[in-house]
Structures are given as structure tokens and as C-alpha cells.
Amino acid sequence: MARIVKAPDVRKQELIEIALKQFLENGYEKTSIRSILKEAGGEIGMFYHYFKSKNEIYEAALENYNEKYIVRFTEIVNTVDLSFEEKMNQIFIYLPDSISEYSQMCTDKGNPEIMTILHARTLLKIVPLFEQLILDGIEKKSIAAPVPSIHLLSQFILFGMSAIIHDREVDSMQEKIRHINALLSKVLDTNMREVQNEANKK
């Protein structure tokens, strides 16, 4: 059978996706370069053509996982014709689907340690985007509360939202979003009713 020749960028992406799947299923220690190559049908030299070590492909795999979430959040934050409230509305519409996907991965096959790392890294990647969103809200006077540190406030909101979303005492995502809306209204001294009404339609 003839060997299938793939473009370098295609082959590299294939290795990253296989590595991500194995890291998620087996964890870091139980995933090896050889196990990745076995599934990819490649030789050891091919791996080192693209990556210097297992840790390098591990970092690339985590980055690959984060990318689609970062792209969507970036699109929302950079939409110039949306108000602060409308951008928050878009985030809340997107949030249940992204959390549902993450939760499904945790339940079905996700290695707990890797999933925790992925989640924390995703939130940290989103912090600068949220800082931009908060700054926009302040400049447009949508946020009335004083903000001593936009950076700390962004982390407080994102990690606080994450804690509520992952809380097991409240099952309903709509109920969790209502709690988040109420807290954000207090913290930011802004009107989140429009956001709440739209999010409740999900």
C-alpha cells in the first residue's frame, strides 16, 4: 500500500489533535511520543521534525484546545457596533454551549488533571479580552462602579463565573446565569436585565 504523503502543516496538526485526544484520555504521564506516533502511523524522526519534546506537543495541544474559545470571545469583544450589555449577552448565549461541551468531555473521557489545567488556561487566556470588554464598558459609561484594577476585576468575574457554573448544588444553567447576572449587576453597577432576558431564552 502506497504511503500517503501529507503537507507538513496538515501532518503537524494531525499530531497535535492525536496528542490532545491521548492527553485528555490518559493524562500526561501515560501518553508517550510512541503512542502518539503509533496512532498517527508515523516514525520517530517525523515527530522530532515538528516538536522538540513531549512537553512541546503537550503545550501545542492545550493551545489548540483553547483556540476556538479564544476566537469566539475575540469576535464578540471586537464587534464595534455592540454595546457592553449586548456583548455580555452574546457571551452568555455562547457560555452554556461551551460549558456543556467541557462538562461532557469531563464525564466521557477527560483526565481530571488535564481538564483542570485546560479550564484554568482557557480562563487566563480570556482575561485580556475581558479586560478590553470592561474598559469598553467604562468608556461608554455602561459600568458605573469604580474599578481600581481592570485586570483583577476581570479575573474576579471570570473565575467567579466559573465557580458558579461548576457548582453542583444548582443544576439548571438558566438559574446559574440568573445568579451571575444579579452578581454582575451589583459588582459593576450596571443594568444586566437585557442580558438576563436573552440568556433565559436558551
Residue type, position 9, single letter: D
Is position 97 within any domain?
yes
Same domain, 106 and 187: yes
User: pLDDT at residue 57 above 60?
Assistant: yes
Looking at residue 117, which CATH number applies to its domain? 1.10.357
Is position 26 within any domain?
yes
Tally of structural domains, the chain = 2
Same domain, 73 and 30: no
Query: What percent of the chain lies above the pLDDT cut of 70?
Result: 84
Looking at residue 47, which CATH number applies to its domain? 1.10.10.60
Q: What count of other Cβ atoms lies within 10 Å of the Cβ of residue 101?
A: 12
CA–CA separation, 159 and 180 (whole Å): 12
Helix, strand, or coil (residue 65): helix
Structure confidence at residue 37 (pLDDT) = 95
CA–CA separation, 65 and 110 (whole Å): 13
User: pLDDT at residue 90 above 50?
Assistant: yes
Structure confidence at residue 129 (pLDDT) = 92
CA–CA separation, 136 and 83 (whole Å): 9
Structure confidence at residue 199 (pLDDT) = 45
For the chain, give the mean pLDDT: 82
Q: Which domain covers residue 50, as residue numbers?
A: 8-56
Q: In which residue are the cell numbers 488556561 written?
A: 121
Local confidence band at 153 (pLDDT 50, 70, 90 cut-offs): very high
State the number of CA atoms in the 13 A half-sphere of 46 facing the CB: 21
Structure confidence at residue 118 (pLDDT) = 79
